[in-house]
Structure 1
Amino acid sequence: MKSLRPTTLRRRVGAPLVAGLAVLALAACAGNSADTDEADLGSSTNQAESGSNDEAGDTVVIGFSAPQADHGWMASITESARKVAEQYDDVELRVAEGTNDVNLQISQVETFINDKVDAIVLLPFDGAAMTPVALQAMEAGIPVINVDREFDDPNAARVTVLGDNYGMGVSAGQYICSQLGDQPDAVVAEIAGIDSLPLTQDRSQGFEDALGECGLDVDARQAAEFTVESGEEVTANLLQAEPEIDAIWNHDDDQGVGVLAAIENAGRDEFFMVGGAGSANAMRSIQADDGVLQATVVYPSTQAADGIKLARLLVQQKAMGDLVEVEVPRTVQLYAPVVTADNVDQFIDSAFES
């Protein structure tokens, strides 16, 4: 992907960072803390006004499948889906056991098809591998809501709910520009996720493009594996190689636990760090101002919860209440806001635990 010219970048990311943070976009339609029982995940049908989208209707049976909850963000994906379903008296959610086995996930969807559920919300372990069975569901008249990892064929889903990986990089880069834009010689480092994944490539490209807007670039980069152990290992290597750093962007707050451990072990504090995904422990550190972590960029773990709400609307033949259109949109992409000490209180109650 080529670097974008300044006007093109502004067109892609919309309003500047400050305006974007004020708007907060659509991402906050559901909470996502697995440990917060009181998190508000949307209106309950018991409290819905007559004629509203949340008013109880015919029961909707929704099948849900996602990968194994082997890290905090993924655990919150499933927990948030459960919580939002529980807030609707007219939703029956059937949750398949989380799995990283593609063949098992295919069989889960086949079971939903055979059971004639009303809709399927699916976060694929592998979008390409799950495309054929998703097409089968659609051909059987069961709408599929594709979450986070896209299918190969757009016809395999009625609705796709996505985070914004490119936008995460842009938000992180714009924030660093706001802090270091008057220091053209500032040293910026990046701790990425798995380099072979398109999501990592998109995050890195957005980061590079945004830094270029203020004349900065990525001076040092290490790729980790989205785990605590890998985050600690690659950060230790980066710190040994770079005697002076002004800012670090870490793509993922789960691996950030290891990143911060390596920074503490090295006794380094001359730089500030921006996290990624928006975990509760990262936000608590930002609140406490107790280390180098100064901000994090949200990648919502509410996507499946939004998928449940959209599935319900589809089956009940309703539209999104704040839109003029009479049909649910085909694609919903959530915003990637930056969380700092100034606005952390707006986000921490719906954050996931790493």
Structure 2
Amino acid sequence: MKKALVIILSLVFAMGAVFAAGAAEKAAVPKIGIAVPSPDHGWTGGIGWWADKAVDELQKEFPGKYEFKVLHADGYAKQISDVEDLMVWGMDYLVILPHESAPLTPVVKEAHAAGVKCIVVDRGLTDTSFGYVNLAGNNSEMGKVSGIFMRDFMKANGLTRYVAMGGMPVVIDGERMTAFFDEMTKEPSLVNLAGGRNYDFADWSTQKGLELMETYIQKYPTIHAVFCQDDDVMTGVLQAIKESGRKDIKLVFGGAGSKAAYEMIMNDDPLVKATATYHPSMVYDAIMYCLDVVEGRKSDAFHTAKAPLSVVLPSVLVDKSNVMDHYDAGSVF
């Protein structure tokens, strides 16, 4: 009887151990929360598309190995709520492109304090006293790459007069425009029609690009080239040029690397010869970086650091020679 009791108890303990192990295994599935803005222009539309693409690929390749939740927010208040919801969900990792840096900083810091490892994309936080990864494009390099191409193209083709548009009065815009003008001013024959290093802000908006270009067309009898820093803005600039019938303009240079720009380059557009990358696929890179941290291929020591770890993605020139290396027919941007 005692022997039978011992056997029964052993079986009970064994089954309990099996169930406990199963529960531990289930609890160990890493939860990765992803918070991105809803589309308000082409670039942010691309951010959402590339985030969804990364998750879809990983779920197909590693079914059940990770849990993902992707949330899209139409403003900073909604995104704060999204991060709070992800914390309740029990995320272990957060990949976020902040709608705005300042209002999102406290909730990301709260997540960090709760043990969540954070990867912030593009726009850094306003508090740099705690450890997270800040993965972003190289704004200065984008301006430099753009300026070198435009300067050399104009010089080679005997062109001298240009206009320039910025995005918005923020730090990254200043970095791009400073580097752009640094290159343009190396060729003394080139003339910025607005004078010196002056330019107008196009708000990274197609409509504002159209309006500014209409103003320039009326104001300046001769324009040889246009730098507008952004492919959404470029769409409006090209529309204004087409509607005006002007033939003096020989180059329009945008930026970011939209599918539309790539297709123009592929199809030998008479005005669009190249672009510089600052691509929304950076959120895809951030999610893959996060996965490397999960798997131990990259260190998670950034989490306990006293300052962010900066990971900078290069900006490269895309022209006819390499456009197919960057083109994705399925991308929304």
Is TM (by shorter chain) over 0.5? yes
- Superposition pairs of residues 169-180 of structure 1, within 5 angstroms: 169-180=143-154
CA offset at residue 198 of structure 1? Answer: 1.9
Q: How does 1:144-155 map to 2 (within 5 A)?
A: 144-155=118-129
1:174 to partner: Cα distance: 0.5
Which one of 164, 173, 181 corresponds to residue 200 of structure 1?
173
Corresponding letter in the other structure for 2:255: G
Q: 1:269 to 1:338 in 2, by over 3 A?
A: farther
Q: Which residue of 2 aligns with 1:38?
A: none
SS of residue paired to 1:113:
helix
Structure 1 residue identity aligned to 2:92? D
CA contact (8 A) 1:132 1:156 kept: no
1:327: Cα distance to partner?
7.9
| Change in 2 beyond 3 A, CA 1:63/1:301 | same
Following TM superposition, by how much is the alpha carbon of 1:154 offset from its aligned partner in structure 2, in angstroms?
A: 2.3
1:320-335, aligned counterparts within 5 Å? 330-335=309-314
Structure 1 residues 185, 86: closer, same or farther in 2, change over 3 A? closer
Match of 1:75 among 32, 41, 45: 45
Contact 1:250 1:276 in 2 (8 A): yes
Secondary structure of the corresponding residue to residue 294 of structure 1: coil
Partner residue in 1 for 2:12: none
> Could you tell me which of 315, 319, 324 is aligned with 1:340?
319
**Which residue of the other structure, out of 258, 263, 266, is the alignment partner of 1:287?**
266
Q: What's the CA shift for 1:300?
A: 1.5
Alignment correspondent of 1:212? 185
- Post-superposition CA distance 1:140-161 (Å, at most 9, x none): 1101100011101224552111
* Equivalent in 288, 312, 317 of residue 296 of structure 2: 317
User: Identity of counterpart residues, as a percentage?
Assistant: 29
Aligned with residue 57 of structure 2, among 87, 105, 130: 87
Aligned AA for 1:306? D
CA distance in structure 2 between the partners assigned to 1:276 and 1:99 by the alignment: 24
Letter aligned with residue 132 of structure 1: P
Name the counterpart of 1:105: 79
Which aligned pairs between 1:229-308 and structure 2 lie closer than 5 A? 229-270=207-248, 271-308=250-287
> 1:80-108 CA distances to partner (integer Å, 9 max, x unpaired)?
122222222133220113222x2221121
Q: Given the two structures, how large is their TM-score scaled by the length of structure 2?
A: 0.80
- Pairwise CA distance, 1:60: 2.4
**Pairwise CA RMSD:** 2.4
Q: For residue 259 of structure 1, what is the amino acid of its counterpart?
A: V
Post-superposition shift, 1:134? 1.0
2:275 is paired with a residue whose SS is strand
Q: How many positions carry a matched residue from both structures?
A: 291
* 8 Å contact kept, 1:191–1:235: no
Change (3 A) 1:332 1:211: same
TM-score by length of structure 1 reads: 0.76
Partners of 1:182 and 1:296 in 2: CA distance: 18
> What is the match of residue 65 of structure 1?
35
Alpha-carbon distance between aligned partners in 2 of 1:157 and 1:104, rounded to the nearest angstrom: 24
The 2-side partners of 1:265 and 1:174 are apart by: 29
Q: Amino acid of the residue matched to residue 83 of structure 1?
A: K
Q: Distance in 1 between matches of 2:234 and 2:57?
A: 33
Q: Cα deviations across residues 165-210 of structure 1 (Å, max 9, x unaligned)?
A: 221111110101222346898112112222x222222221111112
| Alpha-carbon distance between aligned partners in 2 of 1:227 and 1:235, rounded to the nearest angstrom | 12
Give the gaps of 5 or more residues in structure 2: 1-27
The answer for the alignment partner of 1:128 in structure 2 is 102
Report which of the two structures shows the higher radius of gyration computed on alpha carbons.
Answer: 2
Cα distance, 1:261 vs. partner?
0.2
Q: Give the secondary-structure state (helix, strand or coil) at the position aligned to 1:96.
A: strand
Question: Matched residues in 1 for 2:163 and 2:112: separation?
Answer: 44
Q: Following TM superposition, by how much is the alpha carbon of 1:264 offset from its aligned partner in structure 2, in angstroms? A: 0.4
Q: Distance in 2 between matches of 1:353 and 1:202?
A: 27
SS in 1 for 2:134: strand
